[in-house]
Amino acid sequence: MALGLARKWPKKAEGTVKEVSAEDVVEMMLEAKSMIIVPGYGMAVAKAQHAVADLTAKLRARGNNVRFAIHPVAGRLPGHMNVLLAEARVPYDITYAMDAINGDFPQTDLALVLGANDTVNPAAQTDP
């Protein structure tokens, strides 16, 4: 390729996909003792950080361990997700850099990816 740039190919999809309803997600969140929320740019575009903060507060009041995994470049620029969550009053001590929380995923009951479709669906890069 020109200028020595390599073409980036989407990753091959792995595993199986199970479609769930909104009601199913609510049930999963209520049953999960430990949950990691992975926010993305779509959350910012939807201006959903306050709703996510409210959800987090309600789940934590029930005794659920809710934490956030922040990708270093999630959003429009580095630190964007941290700013949005701070504005919505999400406690700073439950937000973690992706590298710091990655090891916790195997022991977590539920991971909720919000507005980061391109990170979990390789087809999103080529099929908007």
104 is catalytic: no
Answer for the pair 81, 44: CB distance below 8 angstroms, yes or no. Answer: yes
Rounded Cα distance between 3 and 38, Å, is: 35
Rounded Cα distance between 3 and 11, Å, is: 23
Name the active-site residue from 24, 54, 99, 118: 118
Q: What is the largest CA-CA distance in the chain?
A: 56
Q: Where in the sequence numbering do the catalytic residues fall?
A: 118
